[in-house]
Amino acid sequence: MSNERPPADDLDRYSLAALTKPAALVRVAGIGTVVLAIAAAFAGTAGWLSPGRLDPARMIDRFEAVNGAHPGFRRNHAKGVCLTGWFDSNGTGARLSTAAVFAAGRLPVIGRFALAGGLPMAPDGPNAVRSLALEFRLPNGQQWRTGMNDIPVFPLKDPRAFYEQLGATAPDPKTGKPDPAAVQAFFAAHPESARALALIKAKPFSSGFANATYNSLNAFVFVDGAGTERPVRWSMVPNDSFAPEPADTPSDRNYLFDALAARVKSAPVQWRLVLTVGRPGDPTNDATVPWPTDRERVDAGVLTVMALQGEDTGACRDINFDPLVLPSGIAASDDPLLSARSAAYSQSFTRREGEVKPPSAVRPD
């Protein structure tokens, strides 16, 4: 750097007079336009210019609008309890996927039993869908997270249908019940949901959490050692024998969870992990459609639930059971629900982790 005073015309180029000359003003305006155009493109990409677009925040907003505010709780499957146990792989699944979870051996598992719906204090009842979410911790540091439901198919095809269904089945503040016309209009617009609901109703629910079959519903892609990809849906099939729901359900608010806690306390509860292998042409992008019943089923091992913990102390509280946390060897399919679940769960997780959570309804300890 020179200590000499720069020439006058050099100093002048930074002066206000130089900047306000017409030619300079045109250029400054041009620069401003470029900067604003990039800022506008950013705002457009962020969705700020399209307030009607269905995004993860609006999806979770609708859960909150329908169910009310329940800070600290999951926005869906709000009522639940943590579980710990392990998975004993028998090695059979390794033929279909290189994921370390299918190599023979035992892995620790943590998870959560829950009722579908956004009300953390909802009474247990015969109409509630039950869910089982699991996190398998693989020896190579990878994880497999899955959230499964005790219904044979999912009633909704894509996130838009999910969003509309939430609105259509929201209880009317006056009657406390959904508006029948809105429900009817929804099913008229979504015949695939009407078909799925008929399948769900045709299959009897079990009497409790411990003897329910939990299904992945969405299809995933399994990749074997040769790189061959196969569509797979999986289920947790109980070792406890099936009993249908009793005609008269107990009036206790937590009767399902209490029965589960008593069952786990008496002895570990087990499920078999069954992989159903799809064939070319089986729909992978539509969870409302079942696959033909003759598809190959591979028994990959046994899940053992050893203990339950209340969410207030249990490790499951701070886990987002994002269905796309997958180990190498399992990948997402083209099912539009998968990315949407991942995005919406993340939104719900971020909101609840920043909130003070009141005690959960189920506290088995």
Partner 1 sequence: MSRPFPILSRLLHWTMALLILAMLFIGVAMVSSLSDYHRLVAIHRPLGILLLVLVAVRLINRLLSPPPPLPAAMPAVLRLAAQASHWLLYALMFAVPVVGWAMLSAAGYPIQLVGAVYLPPILPHDRALYAVLRPAHTVLAFLLFATFLAHLGAALTHALVFKDGVFRSMVK
As annotated, the active-site residues are 77
Question: Which amino acid, one-letter code, is at 249?
Answer: T
Site size toward partner 1 (CB under 8 A) is 58
Q: Which is nearer to partner 1, 147 or 238 (CB)?
A: 147
User: Shortest distance, CB of residue 311 to partner 1, whole angstroms?
Assistant: 12
Q: Which is nearer to partner 1, 150 or 335 (CB)?
A: 335
At residue 183, the 3 state secondary structure works out as helix
Among 40, 46, 185, 198, binds partner 1 (CB under 8 A): 46
Please report the DSSP string for 111-147 in residue order: EEEEESSS-TTPPP-TTPPEEEEEEEE-TTS-EEEEE
Q: Return the range that interacts with partner 1 (CB under 8 A); candidates 10-18, 76-84, 164-172, 242-250.
A: 10-18
Query: Distance of CA 271 to CAs 209, 240, 303, Å?
Result: 11, 8, 5
Q: Which is nearer to partner 1, 51 or 176 (CB)?
A: 51
Interatomic CA distance for residues 201 and 183, integer angstroms: 16
**Residue 20 contacts partner 1 per CB under 8 A:** no
Q: Is 143 exposed, middle or buried (0-12, 13-18, 19+ CB in 10 A)?
A: middle
Q: Return the range that interacts with partner 1 (CB under 8 A); candidates 62-70, 135-143, 173-181, 280-288.
A: 135-143
Structure tokens at 172: 């009317």
**Residue 14 contacts partner 1 per CB under 8 A:** yes
Q: Which is nearer to partner 1, 207 or 320 (CB)?
A: 320
Give me the phi and psi of 331, to 5 degrees please: -135, 165
Angle at 145 between CA 352 and CA 158, to 5 degrees: 75
**Residue 324 contacts partner 1 per CB under 8 A:** yes
**Residue 354 contacts partner 1 per CB under 8 A:** yes
Angle at 59 between CA 56 and CA 60, to 5 degrees: 90
- CA quadruple 242, 219, 81, 162: dihedral sign: negative
- Tokens 């639930």 belong to residue: 305
Q: Which residues contact 122 (CB under 8 A, 6 or more apart)?
A: 78, 79, 115, 128, 361
Site map for partner 1, 157-196, x if CB under 8 A?
Answer: --x-------------------------------------
Strands 297-309 and 330-332: unpaired
Q: Which is nearer to partner 1, 26 or 262 (CB)?
A: 26
**Residue 45 contacts partner 1 per CB under 8 A:** yes
Give me the phi and psi of 148, to 5 degrees please: -120, 155
Residue from 161, 245, 168 nearest 201 by CA: 245
Among 11, 40, 185, 262, binds partner 1 (CB under 8 A): 11
**Residue 294 contacts partner 1 per CB under 8 A:** no
At residue 206, the 3 state secondary structure works out as strand
Among 211, 320, 348, 360, binds partner 1 (CB under 8 A): 320
User: Shortest distance, CB of residue 238 to partner 1, whole angstroms?
Assistant: 28
Among 178, 289, 332, 363, binds partner 1 (CB under 8 A): 332
Note whether 225 and 330 are within 8 A (CB).
Answer: no
Among 94, 308, 338, 362, binds partner 1 (CB under 8 A): 338
Site map for partner 1, 50-79, x if CB under 8 A?
Answer: ---xxxxx-x--------------------
Q: Which is nearer to partner 1, 192 or 322 (CB)?
A: 322
**Residue 346 contacts partner 1 per CB under 8 A:** yes
Q: Interface residues with partner 1 (CB under 8 A)?
A: 1-2, 4, 6-7, 10-11, 13-14, 18-19, 24, 27-28, 30-32, 34-35, 38-39, 41-42, 45-47, 53-57, 59, 140-143, 159, 317-320, 322, 324-325, 328, 332, 336, 338-340, 342-344, 346, 349-350, 353-354
